[in-house]
Amino acid sequence: TGDVTLDVGFVNTASCQSEITYIDGGEGILRYRGYPIDELAKQSTFLETSYLLIYGHLPSATELEEFDGRLRRHTLLVEDMKNFFDGFPRDAHPMSVLSSGVSAMGTFYQDSLDPHDPEAVEISTIRLMAKLPTIAAYAFRKSQGQSILYPNNDYNLVENFLWMTFGQPTEKYELDPLVARALDQLFILHADHEQNCSTSTVRLVGSSEANLFNSISAGIHALSGPLHGGANSAVLAMLEQIKADGGDVGEFVRKVKDKEDGVKLMGFGHRVYKNYDPRAAIVKETAHEMLEKAGDNPLLQLAAELEQKALEDDYFVERKLYPNVDFYTGLIYESMGFPTDMFTVLFAIGRLPGWIAQYREMINDPATKIGRPRQVYVGEGERSYVPVDQRG
Ligand code: CMC
């Protein structure tokens, strides 16, 4: 391979140095800026964790209040942006609407596109954090054929998103604090995961000095695939299919092992974790707490059986395949009332502070160079051009 090393899927190649997230995949450890994920998930808030990821330290009470206030002031979208939501087909996937909305922000906020102007990056950060939930809620309302609801800035970021998604203009909105807390916790769990596919995309696009909006929009596209953020919807589809086929988890596991029709156990396996994903352990607890309250949930039972079956099976043991963060999230999102195609949008809202933190770290790192992987050419050697009338 000459002077380059082939590393398909970047399994062994580190593309940067980073101070943001630490993962030990063998031990199942995840820390944001040094803080263990379970401490953050249980004691912090999404707002505070976002601050931690973006600015590098846990905020003081004053810093947190100030950050909260700034985000609340920026939740509204430019009124003209509503035209986009009117123009997209009703059955458009909300991930496509989300990334289009973020790209469109770059056309409205031309004053803040310079990646080397710290003030521009800062105001873009605030605008993105404040407006992504609004764009997501609008995408959802339009897909349901419902009128949009403007943000209510008496609510915090997560509550406001729930209000804009599920509120009704004619009724008093009863915010369920347990749902708000559970969603907040899920956002914390998704907030960063070092150089995964979407984050690497944000960094790669940003390394060409593309602005923050364009880089985040690209990250949303990367997240949409079923092997990445789309896995949470795929898990629910899989569970529903198993249920429709009679609920035989043993038979499903057999199909996966035999690689029948390329079928995979969605929500299992991870490039880095070769142990139980620490996020999955927390999500599993939340799923049981939330769903068992509502009575027997056949899909939760099916998921638990499937997990057990897989964890005992040699195929999964040998390959060190464990449940990942998204094995149980879909069940929780569904119980909150989100349709399946919104699940990945929720992942995107959660991941946004991580993407922003990584972009900012990359832009401020003097060692950054434009990302430009090499390749190993395996095509034809040199050959001579043949005019079309002489080709056989
Ligand atoms: N079901 C069945 N077999 C699997 C699975 C699975 N979910 N995951 C990996 N394997 C097998 C794979 O077929 C291969 O077997 P063999 O050695 O016989 O060819 C072996 O395990 C190694 O897998 P790999 O595909 O080389 O591993 P990878 O690091 O390239 O892929 C992954 C990681 C997450 C894409 C993969 O495990 C997968 O497709 N999982 C299902 C999708 C999923 O749940 N994705 C969400 C990931 S967590 C949230 C996020 O970060 O987006």
10: pLDDT strictly greater than 80: yes
How far is residue 324's CA from residue 308's CA, in Å, rounded to a whole number?
Answer: 14
Q: What is the mean pLDDT of residues 162-167?
A: 97
Q: What confidence tens digit (pLDDT) does each residue in 267-298 have? A: 999 999 998 899 999 999 999 888 887 777 88
pLDDT given for residue 322 in this prediction: 94
Per-residue confidence (pLDDT) for residue 291, from 0 to 100: 84
Query: Over the stretch 333-367, which tens digit does the pLDDT of each residue have?
Result: 999 999 999 999 999 999 999 999 999 999 999 99
Cβ neighbourhood burial of 251 (10 Å; 0-12, 13-18, 19+): exposed
Please report which confidence band the pLDDT of residue 85 belongs to, taking 50, 70 and 90 as the band edges: confident
Q: Is the pLDDT of residue 75 over 60?
A: yes
Atom of ligand 1 nearest to the CA of 264: 1
- pLDDT, residue 82, reads 87
How far apart are the CA of 56 and the centre of ligand 1, in A? 32
Q: What is the mean pLDDT of residues 182-187?
A: 97
In this prediction, residue 226 has a pLDDT band, given cuts at 50, 70 and 90, of: very high
Q: Whose C-alpha lies nearest to ligand 1, atom 52?
A: 228
Q: Which atom of ligand 1 is nearest to the CA of 324?
A: 48
pLDDT at 204: 98
Cross-sheet strand order for the sheet of 35-36: 21-24, 29-32, 35-36
Task: Tell whether the torsion through CA atoms of 116, 118, 120 and 121 is positive or negative.
Answer: positive
What separation in Å is there between the alpha carbon of 263 and the centre of ligand 1?
Answer: 11
DSSP state of 31: E
Considering only CA atoms, which residue is closest to atom 12 of ligand 1? 319
Atom of ligand 1 nearest to the CA of 9: 30
Q: pLDDT band for 2, please (50, 70, 90 cuts).
A: low
Mean pLDDT over 316-331 rounds to 94
Read off the amino acid at residue 12.
N
Instruction: Say if residue 69's pLDDT is above 90.
Output: yes
> How does 261-279 read in b/e, with b if 16+ C-beta sit within 10 Å?
eeebbbbbbbebbeeebbb
Region 208-232: mean pLDDT is 96
Task: Give me ligand 1 centre to Cα 325, in Å.
Answer: 13
Beta strands 35-36 and 21-24: pairing type? unpaired
Which pair of tokens denotes residue 309?
Answer: 């079956």
Mutation pick for ligand 1 pocket among 23, 268, 307, 328 (CB with most ligand atoms within 8 Å): 268
Integer Cα distance of 291 and 333 in angstroms: 10
Best mutation site among 189, 197, 201, 270 for ligand 1 pocket (most ligand atoms within 8 Å of CB): 270
Query: What tokens appear for 7 in the block?
Result: 């590393």
Nearest CA to ligand 1 atom 26: 271
The residue whose C-alpha atom lies closest to atom 27 belonging to ligand 1 is 271
Reduce the secondary structure of 48-84 to three states and give it as a string. HHHHHHHHCCCCCHHHHHHHHHHHHHCCCCCHHHHHH
For residues 223-250, average pLDDT: 94
User: Mean pLDDT lowest for which of 11-25, 292-306, 330-344?
Assistant: 292-306
Which of 266, 277, 279 is CA-nearest to residue 235? 266
Q: Please state the φ and ψ torsions of residue 32, each to the nearest 5 degrees.
A: -100, 125
Confidence of residue 30 (pLDDT cuts 50, 70, 90): very high
Q: Which of 238, 249, 321 to mutate to test the pocket of ligand 1 (most atoms within 8 A of CB)?
A: 321
pLDDT at 121: 98
122-151: burial string, b at 16+ Cβ within 10 Å, e else: ebbbbbbbbbbbbbbbbbbbbbeeeebbeb
- pTM, full prediction: 0.95
Q: Which residues line ligand 1 (CB under 6 A)?
A: 9, 193, 196, 227-229, 231, 256, 264-271, 319, 321, 324-326
Give the tens place of pLDDT for each residue, 40-50: 999 999 999 99
Q: With 60 as the cut, is the pLDDT of residue 161 above it? A: yes
Region at 309 (left for phi over 0; alpha for psi -120 to 50; beta for the rest): alpha
253: closest CA among 301, 302, 300, 298? 302
Nearest CA to ligand 1 atom 29: 271
* Location of structure tokens 């790669």: 204
Mean pLDDT, all residues of the chain: 95
- Give the angle 297-190-242 at the CA atoms, nearest 5°: 35
Q: Quick one: pLDDT band at residue 1, thresholds 50, 70, 90?
A: low
DSSP output for 115-172: TT-HHHHHHHHHHHHHHHHHHHHHHHHHHTT-------TTS-HHHHHHHHHH--TTS-
User: What's the confidence (pLDDT) of residue 290?
Assistant: 85
- Report percent pLDDT > 90 for the chain: 92
